[in-house]
Structure 1
C-alpha cells in the first residue's frame, strides 16, 4: 500500500525535524542534492535549465542547480521575480550561494521577458516554480512559464510536485506535464499518474513519532477565526474540596486561546474562584461544598452553550459527587475527563488524561514501559483518545500514536495536570480529538520547560500557565 503524505503533514514533519535538530536549511540542501543526483543518474550531464519560483520550492531548485554545476553540467537558472522577493531563510541563502558559485541566474520580472528562446537551448528543464504551499490556479509569471515549459521539447523534471498541481485534490487543471517527478519523503496525492521517484531528505524518525511544533501548527487556535466565540467555549466542571484545580484549568484554557471559559463549581468554590481573576466566569452550583445530583439539571443548558466540557478537577471522591459526574458526562458530546472524573464505571468518551495510576484505575491494566501498547488497546476498545501522562506522554486514538518528550521533573508540582486538561479542552473545541491532545501535550510540556528555565524546581503550575501564550506564539508563528 502506497504511503501518502499531505502538504500539511509534510510541513508539520519539516517543522518537527527542525525542532529535533535537522534544520530547514539541511532539508533543503538534501532535497536539492537528491534532485541533482537523480538527474545525473538517469540522464547524465546534459544542458539544464532550472526555473525557480520565489518560495522554498525555488530554493530546492537553487540547490539542485549548484550541485549540477559542481558536477560540471552546463546549468542556467531563471528566477521568476526579483531576488529581493525570494523567501527569507534557506531559499534566499541558497540563491546567494548559487550566485557565489558563478551560475548564470536570470531575474524575470515581467511576463514579456519570458520568451520561447529561453527554453530552446536546454536538454532538461527542472520545474521548481510552485511547491505544495501554493494554492489556486497559477497566475502571472508562473502561468506563462508553465505554458512555455510544456511546449518545450526538453525533458521536464518537477521538484516535489508538478507546479500547479492542486495539493488537496491531486487534480492538475493547469500544471507542468513532467516526464519525471522527484518527490521528497513520501508520495503526494496526484503523483501516481506520473513517473515519480521518492527520495529521502533526512527527516528523522523522531519528527514522525514525537509531537513537536508541526503538530501545533496543524491545529486551529485563536487567530484563525474572526468572531467572538469561534475560537471555542469551554465549560469546566469541578471544584468542591479543591478550588485551585478548576481555576488552573480555566486559566490554561484562556491562555491557549479559548474565547469563553465558564467554571461550574459548588458555591463556596465559585465565590473564591471569581475573586481570583476578573477574567473568570463562574456558574455556582446548588450545594455550597460539593457537586451533587441536583446539579445535573442545572448544567444541561450550560453544556449546550459550550463546545467542550472539561470535568473532574478538584471535585473530590464523595459518592454523590461521583454519581453526579457520571450523569453529567452522559449529557456531553465532547469531553476532557481528568482527575476525579477518571473512575471505574464512568462513561468515558472524548479525551481522557490519566497518569499511570489513574489509567490503572479506569482500565484495570498495569502500565509497563511508557504504556503505548496499553494505551492503544484501551483507546481502541473504548473509542476515545488517551493522553497518558508520564515522563514520555503517550497520545493515541487506538490507530494513530504520538509520543511527547517536552516537560521536566519540575512539573511534578501539583496543578500541572489541571493545566494540561485546560489546554486540551481549548484546542479540542475547534480541532479533532487526537490532533488537539497531541498539540496540548507539546504545549503543556514546552510551557513547563520555559518556566523551568526561569524558576527551576521552584516552578508553580501558575508559572506554566503564564508561559502558554509565549509557546503558542513562538511555535505557531513558523507556520507561514
Structure 2
C-alpha cells in the first residue's frame, strides 16, 4: 500500500469534514482504535502518555478515556491553554472533568516514566520538520532512556529530524506514513474509500501557493495554441488560465483570430500566426514560444484543416508539459501529457464508447486506456453524482460540482 504524506493526510481530513465526517469523529475513532491496540499488547497496570499539544496528543487523550480501567497518567508537554486544536482541547477537557491524572510538564524532570509499564508516545505527528530542541527533545530522550515498552501514535515522534523516539511498535491510522517500516500497525479510523475518490476543498491545499518573494512567471507561464475558425474557444481557455492564477498567458493563434482575442483582456499576450489556420509555416515561431512557457494547452477552436493536423503532429512532441483538448484530440496524433475529452472525443481517440456506462463502469476502461497510453485522462461529462473523472492509470478521482449551467458553449475550453 502506498504511504500518505502529512500534506495529503491534512487534505483528506479537510475533505472528510467537507463531506460531513468531522475531525472530532475521526479523533474519536483513532483514539478508540489505539486503545484497543494497547489492550491487545497486555501493557501491565500503569500506562504513561507523553503528549504534545496537537492532534497527535488529542488521539492519545481519547485513548486514555478508553483505557480508564488502567492506571493512566497523561503528561502534557506545555500548558493545556496552548493545546492547538479544538478537537484535542475538547478531549483534554473531558479528561479534566472526569478526574484523570493530568500533568502539565514544564521540565523533563516532571516525567516519572520509571513508574509505568508502557509509554504511549504522542508528542509529534507526521508534520514535524527541522530540528527538535527544548522540552520536546528532552522528553524524547527520557522516553528512549526509560527502558520501557513504547508505542508511538501515528509515527515515532521526531521521525526524520535530529532526534526520534525509538518505538517498540508504531500504531498509524488509515494508511502507512513515509519512513515507517512494514511492521507498523495500520488501523482503520472510518475514512471510507469515497472520501479519497471524490475531490474536495482539501485538495486545493496541495496546489502550490504564491510565495511572498515571488517574481513574474514563478506562478506559471501558459501558452495556448488555438483558434482560426473559432476565436472564443482559445480566448476562454486563456482567460481561465489567468483566473486560475497563471502569471503569464500567451495565445498563439492564426491571424484571422488574433485581433479579436487580444480584445478580450489587456493581460493576454497574443502571438499572431502566419495564416488563417495553424500550419507548418508556424513551427519555428511556436518552437520559440514553447521554450519560453511552462505548459502548452492546445486544440481549442483549431478546426479540422489537414495542414493543421500535420502541424499538430510536429508540435505535440516538442511540449514537455501539455494539455490537449478539442480539435487536437485525434487518434493518429502522438498524444501525451493530459488529455481532456468529453465522451465523444474519448471514443474518437480510444475506440471505447462509455456513454451508456455508469461512472463505476467507466473506471476500469478509462484507467486501462490511460495506463496503456501513459496519459492523464480527464473525462468530462456528468453522470450521477460525478461531473468529471481524472486518472493517470493508477489512481482515479472524481468531482461532483458540475451543474446544468455548464452545458453552455465554451465550458469545456475553460475546464481545459
Task: Compute the TM-score of the two structures, normalised by the length of structure 1.
Answer: 0.79
Matched, 1:330 2:330: no
Residue 80 (1) aligns with residue 60 (2): no
The answer for the alignment partner of 1:10 in structure 2 is 9
CA deviation profile, 1:349-396 (whole Å, cap 9, x unmatched): 111000000011112221243332222222222221111112132222
Over 3 Å counting, the alpha-carbon distance change for 1:224 and 1:419 in structure 2 is farther
Superposed, which structure 2 residues align to 1:149-164 within 5 Å?
149-164=143-158
Distance 2:38 2:351 in 1: 57
| 8 Å CA contact retained: 2:126, 2:177 | no
Q: Which residue of 2 aligns with 1:432?
A: none
Give 1:201's aligned residue. Answer: 189
Contact kept? 1:274, 1:282, Cα under 8 Å: yes
Alignment of 1:275-294 (within 5 A): 275-287=263-275, 289-294=276-281
Which runs of 5 or more structure 2 residues have no equivalent in the other structure? none
Which of 115, 123, 128 aligns to 1:129? It is 123
**2:396 paired residue number:** 401
Contact 1:32/1:61 (CA < 8 Å) preserved in 2?
Answer: yes
Does the 8 Å contact 2:278/2:311 carry over to 1? Answer: yes
Q: Determine if the alignment matches structure 1 residue 183 to structure 2 residue 172.
A: yes
Q: Aligned-pair RMSD on alpha carbons?
A: 2.3
SS in 1 for 2:176: coil
- Cα distance change on mapping 1:285 and 1:336 into 2, 3 Å: same
SS of residue matched to 1:198: strand
- Report SS of the residue matched to 1:147: helix
Residue 388 (structure 1) aligns with = 379
CA contact (8 A) 1:66 1:101 kept: no
Distance 1:381 1:40, change over 3 A: closer
Q: CA deviation at 1:295?
A: 1.8
2:79–2:104: 8 Å Cα contact kept in structure 1? Answer: yes
Query: How many residues end up aligned between the 2 structures?
Result: 408
Which is helix-richer, 1 or 2?
1
In structure 2, relative to structure 1, the CA distance for the partners of 1:199 and 1:225 (3 Å cut) is farther
- Give 1:375's aligned residue: 366
Contact map agreement 1:222 1:258 (CA 8 A) in 2: no
CA deviation vs aligned residue, 1:269-326 (integer Å, no higher than 9, x gap): 2212222222222111122x43233222221111110011100112222333333333
TM alignment of 1:299-338, pairs within 5 A: 299-338=286-325
Report if the CA contact (8 A) 1:221-1:257 is conserved: no
Q: Deviations over 1:171-211 (max 9, x none)?
A: x76211222222112333443275x3221111111122233
Note if contact 1:222-1:257 (Cα within 8 Å) is conserved in structure 2: no
1:251–1:95 Cα change, 3 Å: farther
Distance 1:180 1:333, change over 3 A: closer
Structure with greater proportional strand content: 2
Deviation at 1:236, TM superposition (A): 0.5
Q: Please identify, of 358-367 and 268-277, the stretch whose mean Cα deviation from structure 2 is larger.
A: 268-277
Scaled by the length of structure 2, the TM-score of the pair is 0.91
Give yes or no for the alignment of 1:410 onto 2:398: no
Unaligned runs of 5+ in 1: 167-171, 422-480
* Displacement of 1:228: 2.4
